Amino acid sequence: MSRPAVVDSVAALRARIRDWRRDGLRVAMVPTMGALHEGHLSLIRIARERAERCVVSIFVNPTQFAPSEDLDKYPRQLARDLDMLATARADLAFTPTVDAMYPAGFATRISVGGPSAGLESDFRPTFFDGVATVVAKLFLQATPDYAVFGEKDYQQLCVVRQLCRDIDLPVEIIGAPTIRDAHGLAMSSRNAYLGEAELQIARQLNVVLRKTAAALAAGADQKDTIAEARRTLIAAGFHTVDYVEARESLTLGPWRHDRAGRILAAAWLGKTRLIDNVEVPTA
């Protein structure tokens, strides 16, 4: 199976999409930072179900990394990524450089409130500004009808939806279920950093979150249940727990038992930070 075509300039991207539009074809986009895995491929398959053409962006976005984070060591493996895109039948890979996305003199950032409050923002205060800025640029560059984001990054998904609503970006945002390994660990490019012993610990994150969600659904006290989840993660071998919180599913505001909810968590194994979330079951 042949690799998708590759373009690295906005002009070339727009030219290709103009040709598709001229033929009456719908366009779906899957924004990624590369280091693709089965989770990404599942997004592309969903995109292909919605539209006749799928463009995948591969861009390690520097504006969503703080100076202390892993921008330099974030895995970059374009040749392997393109081979994987071929198996998922992506039509086009957009691989811009940093200079193409943020040319000299670039001075604009987009800040989204609402669902960006707390959770990741408490520990990565510039993260969602970087996400919102790059996503807005990608949508204006590619003008997709649809864009697919994984629920694994649930707060990011909510922020992108808020962004599109607030500034009238005509893109339908599709949330895709989290893809997990056979042990329930959410697939992530950063899993490659983990050794075998750390993987065994990492696989407990989803187990703890599901037990916590089930307890809350059964009426357990929220404060006590969340505190127990944090203690259990530390006992399992996580070095630090940034947060475990119950939030309302749509707005990420405070959760009450009569509303659809999510349990979201972030925890550290050595130098690797893992995030995950699960739905609170409803009756």
- Residues with Cβ < 8 Å from 201, sequence gap 6 or more? 236, 237, 238, 269
Residue with structure tokens 């922020």?
Answer: 159
* Known binding-site positions for (R)-pantoate: 64, 156
Distance separating alpha carbons of residues 267 and 209, to the nearest angstrom = 12
* Known binding-site positions for ATP: 33-40, 150-153, 179, 187-190
Distance separating alpha carbons of residues 119 and 251, to the nearest angstrom = 13
Q: Which of 40, 183, 239, 257 is catalytic?
A: 40
- Asked about 239 being catalytic, the answer comes back as no
Distance separating alpha carbons of residues 250 and 261, to the nearest angstrom = 8
Residue with structure tokens 């002009």?
Answer: 11
Burial of 221: CB neighbours in 10 Å, binned 0-12, 13-18, 19+: exposed
* Known binding-site positions: 33-40, 64, 150-153, 156, 179, 187-190
Distance separating alpha carbons of residues 158 and 79, to the nearest angstrom = 31
Measured in whole angstroms, how far is the alpha carbon of residue 282 from the centre of its chain? 25
Distance separating alpha carbons of residues 200 and 183, to the nearest angstrom = 9
Distance separating alpha carbons of residues 260 and 198, to the nearest angstrom = 32
Catalytic residue numbers, as ranges: 40
